């Protein structure tokens, strides 16, 4: 849906338009190669955030460079929001590596007749300028597995084979009811669709609260894909989803286990250091003018609460298993005051 457009039907996401994979055996024609690809994200977007977290955890910061689009700036025709500006470190309003102003240019370089939507994340082939993939779900899996030869020593196993069925099953319902559920609530075209979405959302959060009361992580005793996918919704919940998307039956901070779990992850390298609350607030409140026509951006909540003690370590578990945390990020976000 375009910015400012009023929803007239329930939110149904279009299938990913570009689903080629970069793999160790180059079976789709795209080989794993350090320095060849550029990951285009927006720090406000939860789907892009999860890919950037995996990139950080696996230590692929130097192998896959990062491009950050402006949180609110529109393209010249007012149709695209994933554009590069000097405000986010792109001289002359063009990405210094790809030489483009809008991510749509990489879509069109790959498929000149493309007329569909543009989304982040986007993995772009630097030599050709072609978009390789905007498949956010597959990108995280591949960054953790296919790029293993270029991963840092001590990188975690985020999708362990013995737990994949459980991770996949949990990811499916979390995506349906939580990750996408907040959007289905926020962009509901009528009361009935809103009621369905928000009821399913909080029923699932209640279940997750119970699950996390007695265990530190969602599946197993280390961080996995499941935790990363839930975190990027939780970290945005009170800041934008609770008010802006009318997901206001409860706040995240009213869930003892979920709130402590989210803080535990936030304080783990790779999570909080890739989170930019200013980008999140400004993008959601400003860009979604159909549901916030005044474009007034909410001031809170105070993000410093994310740094308070969580005590989740008493449940056991090891964030990185037998591995180690990543070093400092190459592209740090502003520190919390």
Q: Closest Cα partner for 183 from 237, 226, 231?
A: 237
Note if 175 is an active site residue: no
Give the integer Cα–Cα distance in Å for 239 and 277.
8
22-23 and 30-31: which strand pairing?
A: parallel
Active site residue 183: yes
CB 185 within 8 A of CB 247: yes
Burial 138-162 (b: 16+ CB within 10 A, else e): bbbbbbbbbbeebbbeebbbbbbee
Catalytic residue among 37, 107, 159, 183: 183
- C-alpha to C-alpha distances, 96 to 91, 106, 126, nearest whole angstrom: 7, 14, 11
Return the DSSP state at 177: I
Please give the angle made by the CA atoms of 39, 116 and 71, to the nearest 5 degrees: 45
CB atoms within 10 A of CB 239: 20
Write the CA distances from 337 to 306, 307, 308, 334, integer angstroms.
11, 11, 13, 9
259 marked as binding residue: no
Q: What angle do CA 226, 232, 237 make, to 5 degrees?
A: 120
Active-site residue identified among 37, 45, 107, 284: 45
Q: Which residues are catalytic?
A: 45, 183
């Amino acid at each position: 849906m375009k910015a400012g457009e009023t929803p007239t039907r329930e939110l149904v996401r279009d299938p990913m338009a570009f689903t080629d994979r970069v793999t160790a055996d180059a079976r789709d024609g795209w080989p794993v190669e350090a320095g060849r690809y550029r990951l285009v994200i927006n720090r406000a977007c939860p789907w892009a955030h999860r890919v950037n977290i995996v990139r950080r955890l696996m230590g692929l910061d130097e192998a896959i460079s990062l491009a950050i689009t402006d949180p609110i700036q529109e393209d010249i025709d007012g149709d695209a929001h994933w554009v590069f500006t000097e405000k986010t470190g792109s001289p002359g309003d063009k990405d210094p590596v790809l030489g483009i102003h809008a991510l749509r240019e990489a879509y069109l370089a790959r498929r000149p007749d493309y007329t569909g939507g543009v989304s982040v994340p986007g993995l772009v082939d630097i030599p050709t300028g072609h978009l390789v993939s905007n498949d956010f779900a597959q990108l995280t899996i591949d960054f953790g597995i296919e790029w293993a030869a270029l991963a840092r020593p001590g990188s975690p196993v985020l999708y362990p084979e013995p737990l994949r069925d459980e991770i996949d099953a949990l990811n499916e319902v979390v995506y349906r009811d939580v990750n996408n559920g907040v959007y289905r609530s926020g962009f509901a075209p009528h009361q009935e669709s809103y009621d369905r979405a928000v009821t399913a959302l909080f029923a699932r959060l209640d279940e997750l609260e119970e699950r996390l009361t007695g265990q530190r992580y969602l599946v197993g005793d280390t961080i996995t894909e499941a935790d990363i996918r839930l975190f990027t919704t939780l970290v945005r919940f009170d800041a934008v989803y609770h008010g802006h998307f009318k997901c206001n039956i409860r706040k995240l901070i009213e869930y003892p286990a979920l709130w402590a779990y989210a803080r535990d992850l936030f304080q783990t390298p790779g999570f909080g250091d890739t989170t930019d609350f200013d980008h999140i607030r400004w993008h959601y409140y400003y860009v979604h003018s159909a549901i916030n026509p005044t474009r007034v951006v909410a001031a809170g909540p105070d993000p410093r609460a994310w740094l308070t003690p969580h005590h989740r370590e008493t449940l056991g578990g090891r964030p990185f298993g037998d591995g180690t945390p990543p070093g400092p990020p190459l592209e740090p976000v502003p520190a919390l005051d």
